[in-house]
Structure formats: structure tokens, C-alpha cells
Amino acid sequence: MLKNTSSSIIINKKGRPKTFNKAQASKIAMETYWKEGIENVSLNEMCRKIGESKPSVYREYGGEEGLQLAALELYYKDRVEPVGKILFDAESILVGIKSAFDFLINEHFKDEKMGAACMFNREGMHPSENLSVMCKNFIEKKDKENMSFLKEGLKRALDKEYLNKGINIDTYSVYIFNQIKLIASLSNNKQLSKSTLREMVDLIMSPLLPN
């Protein structure tokens, strides 16, 4: 009788459901989608990488769309928001823009694990065929927010005569916004040297400076 009781206890222990580590699963998904591309990883393959069953992933994320969004949101939080903080928290927008460029170049070259273009920018400019609507809406929302912050910063700088009065705010906001994306991707890929990227930044910044 004691033996049977002990056996029952062991069976119950083995039968306890495994806890789903959502933070770890989202991180694995983020790193995989970033390095390999969202369209190149099936849900079945992602489940194998995460080490969870498809029903478990559906239960936690609502399916592949939810998993993609969780990965993209984590990427944005970890890799895009720090750049925005540097850009918009500086004493002036000119300092912020230059500091953001410097941060991208220095940090990306420092990280030996990199080698893939910015996932947020890549999916915004050339979205994967299977990119979810939720992800597209998230990218559009964040791009609009960041563009608005940048434009307002440039307007304030122009009012204080920190900027070349001949620039068109609307045009230059779009230009700077996309140049930040470009430098982020090029420095991620390490396609060009740091010195070349810094020379590009000088060219990008030059029209802003007062004559």
C-alpha cells in the first residue's frame, strides 16, 4: 500500500503542467525573427526553437500574429526606444540628432553578435509577406509618433534660431527620420566602416546648421 501511494505521488508530480516562460519565449522569437526574417520562420519551427507546443503558443499569444507582435514590441523596447530617448531628451534637437547617430554607430559596432538589419525598420520598409496586420499597425503608429516628436523638435529649434532658416521643416523631418533608419541599418550590418558612416552623418547634419 505504501508503495502504491508513493508511485501515485510520483505520477502526479510528473503530470504537473510545465510553466510557460513567456518572457523567454518572446526573447527567442525576437532574436530569431530579427536574424532570420519573419517570413523565413514558420510557426512550427518557432515552436521548436521556443521548446513549446503549438497549442501552448496559441494559448499564450493567440497564434502566430500575436507571437510576431510580442517579438516586434520587445525589439522596439530594447533596441529602438533607447535611440528615441537620446534623440528627444537632449538639450536641443541638433544635439539629440547627432547623439543618436553617434550612439547607433558606436553601439552597433561594439556588439559582435549583430549582423542583421534593424528588424523594426526592415519590416516597416520591406515587410515580410506573412507580417501580421497587428505588426503593421504597430509600426505605423510608432513611426507617426516619432515623426511628430522630431518635427516638433525641429520647429522649436527653428524658432530659437538654432537651425538654418532656409530649411523646410516638413521635408527635413522626413529626411532626418529616414536617415536615422538608414544609419541604424548600415551600422547593424557593418556594411561600411565607422569613418565612412561618420562622414555620412556630417553630410546629413550640414544643411541644418545656420549659415
pLDDT tens track for 147-202: 999 999 888 888 877 777 777 888 888 999 999 988 888 887 777 888 999 999 99
pLDDT tens track for 100-140: 999 988 887 776 655 577 889 889 989 999 999 999 999 99
CATH number at residue 107: 1.10.357.10
What's the predicted TM-score (pTM) here? Answer: 0.82
Q: What is the C-alpha to C-alpha distance for residues 208 and 158, in angstroms, rounded to an integer?
A: 10
Residue 10 maps to a domain: no
Residue 16 maps to a domain: no
Residue 5 maps to a domain: no
Residue 146 maps to a domain: yes
For the chain, what is the domain count? 1
Residue 52 maps to a domain: yes
Residue 153 maps to a domain: yes
